[in-house]
Structure 1
Amino acid sequence: MSEPTGVIHDIGYQRYTGPRLGRRHVFGAMYRHGVRTAFGLGRSAKAKIFPWLLVGIVLMVAVAATAMRTQLGQVVMTYAQFADNMSWLVIFFVAVAAPELVSRDLRSGVLPLYFSRPLPTADYPLAKLLALVTALWLLLGAPQLLMFLGAAFTSDGMGAVWDELLDLLPGLLYAGLWAAVFASVGLLIASLTGKRAFAAGGIVAVFLMTTPIVGVLSILPSQAANQLAGIASPSTLVQGVGIWTMRDQLITEGEGPDLGSFGPVYALVAVALIAAGVALLLARYRKVAAR
């Protein structure tokens, strides 16, 4: 009977004996990495060019609006109007950031690593979505804060500063609505393909090609169709919610879209759009994890 010839070699591998931080810390790490990725932080200089170009543009607009207010002595752009005026830049920011957040992982095939314990399937898309919402809110909210600081330092007394703060808060909430709607739609589209160029093109197409539909509906002979036309596009949908909730801050000349009694409908559709985007995003990743 022959003796066993197998040999065990100690090649130096050791078991991990450090702290196991668990699900919450994994989620937080993905969220922080997602925010950094949206702005190109921790990546090559080329990846930083476009997001920081947009950051520079919105900050320059905020500085210009603050300087003009100081010189003219009157508000040239409210906080809510700033979010509206910069919304076209948000579209392109989403078109670049969303594919970076999810399309790269789909193409590289690393999702099975993410979906291993202790990370549930839903945590990955939710962390990415929250990161994109945060990045968009910072893009629109940070310049508003800069405008507020400029106004506060030139105000007469704490009463005027308090009034300015009461104007700022709705603007920040409005920026959050822009961020939530655009992120939920944009990330869903980006999650459908691993090719970043296709994802970016699809995002721009959805946001821009729905605008002509609004134009067609707004010239129909039906008044109800005119008042509900803005629902057909994410951008005009958000603007409709803003006009319904804070018309005085968005329409300074007394003229603007007539929503009739459909203001609450715009708000409900916006909430439904966000909920549908999140639900479909979760369903998409359940399908990916099941492969």
Structure 2
Amino acid sequence: MAPQTSVIHDIGYQRYKGPRLGRWYANRSLYEHSLRSAFGIGRGAKAKVFPWLVIGIVLFFAVIVIAVRSITGETFMSYRQYAANLSYPVMLFLAIVAPELVSRDLRDRTLPLYFSRPLARTDYALAKYAALVTAVLLLLGVPQLLIYLGAVFTRTDGFHGAWDELGDLGPGLAAALIRALVLASVSLLIASLSGRRAFAAAFIVGVFLITSPIVGILSVLGNATLKSLAFLANPMFLMLGLEQWLFGPPSAGEGLPLGDYGPVYGAAALVLLGGSVGLLLLRYRKVAA
């Protein structure tokens, strides 16, 4: 019989006796980490280039608005128009950030590490969604606040002028929030379908760009009803229609020819938001961990 040579070594493992912060802390940590990742904070210079390039573009437009108003005293772009005119930078930002938040985890197969903690699959999806919504809201909201501050300092009617300006700012921030909620849900859903960030970014851009000519075709070839409903085919135009229904045309003589179909745009936005978030949650219930 062979002699027993096995030895048990005490290498100092001890049970953890500290506080267990639980599911809420895990959700908050994932949200904070995702929000920082959206802007490349805590990562290398390469991860910061594209997000901050888009931030520079939107801030540049804000500076132009402030400078023109301070020099001429006229407002050539309202707060709502500012958010609407930056559709392409927002689209680019979503195409960059959404794959960064979810596609990397799919590619690197790190989801089992997340789900081994007190973090449900739905928690993961909602934390990522909340981070992307916050990032888009900051992208559109912070420049509007800067424009507001610039406008207040150029007005000569004191508190009443600041209050009137705040009444114009409110719909602009509300429009930014609506855009963040809806467009982030669509973009994150698309990004969650691919582990390759380049493919996910291309798919996101494709959804926004390919559907735009459809709006033009329906507007030209359709009857009066179809022309009023044509803008439902593109998420960006859908946002314009929804904002016009909620707040009215951006200025006199402008706006989309919605007719009496404003409530349809409201319903379509709710369906798009609820459907995208629901499919996102379903996606992470089915994804392999």
TM-score range, shorter chain: over 0.9
Cross-structure match for 2:266 = 267
Q: 5 Å matches for 1:81-230?
A: 81-155=81-155, 156-230=157-231
1:132-171 Cα distance to aligned partner (Å, 9 max, x none): 0000010000000000011112222111101111111111
1:5 positional shift: 4.9
Letter in structure 2 aligned against 1:245: L
1:14 positional shift: 2.8
Counterparts of 1:81 and 1:255 in 2: how far apart (Å)?
Answer: 11
Counterparts of 1:27 and 1:59 in 2: how far apart (Å)?
Answer: 31
Q: Tell me the secondary structure at the aligned position of residue 122 of structure 1.
A: helix
- Give the percent of matched residue pairs that are identical in Structure 1 and Structure 2: 57
1:36-76 Cα distance to aligned partner (Å, 9 max, x none): 11111111101101111111111111111011011111111
Cross-structure match for 1:22 = 22
Cross-structure match for 2:73 = 73
Counterparts of 2:171 and 2:254 in 1: how far apart (Å)?
Answer: 20
Cross-structure match for 1:55 = 55
Counterparts of 1:121 and 1:276 in 2: how far apart (Å)?
Answer: 18
Q: Which region of structure 1 is more displaced relative to structure 2, 266-275 or 213-222? A: 213-222
Query: TM-score, normalised to structure 2's length?
Result: 0.96
Counterparts of 1:253 and 1:60 in 2: how far apart (Å)?
Answer: 26
Q: Tell me the secondary structure at the aligned position of residue 11 of structure 2.
A: coil
1:112 positional shift: 0.9
Runs of 4+ residues over 3 Å off in structure 1: 1-6
Letter in structure 2 aligned against 1:90: V
Q: Tell me the secondary structure at the aligned position of residue 248 of structure 2.
A: helix
Letter in structure 2 aligned against 1:256: G
Query: TM-score, normalised to structure 1's length?
Result: 0.95
Counterparts of 1:169 and 1:22 in 2: how far apart (Å)?
Answer: 37
Q: Tell me the secondary structure at the aligned position of residue 219 of structure 1.
A: helix
Counterparts of 2:96 and 2:229 in 1: how far apart (Å)?
Answer: 30
Counterparts of 1:256 and 1:122 in 2: how far apart (Å)?
Answer: 39
**2:237 matches 1:236:** yes
Cross-structure match for 1:288 = 287
Counterparts of 2:198 and 2:256 in 1: how far apart (Å)?
Answer: 35
Cross-structure match for 2:276 = 277
1:160-200 Cα distance to aligned partner (Å, 9 max, x none): 10111111111111001111111101000110010111100
RMSD: 1.5
Q: Tell me the secondary structure at the aligned position of residue 287 of structure 2.
A: helix
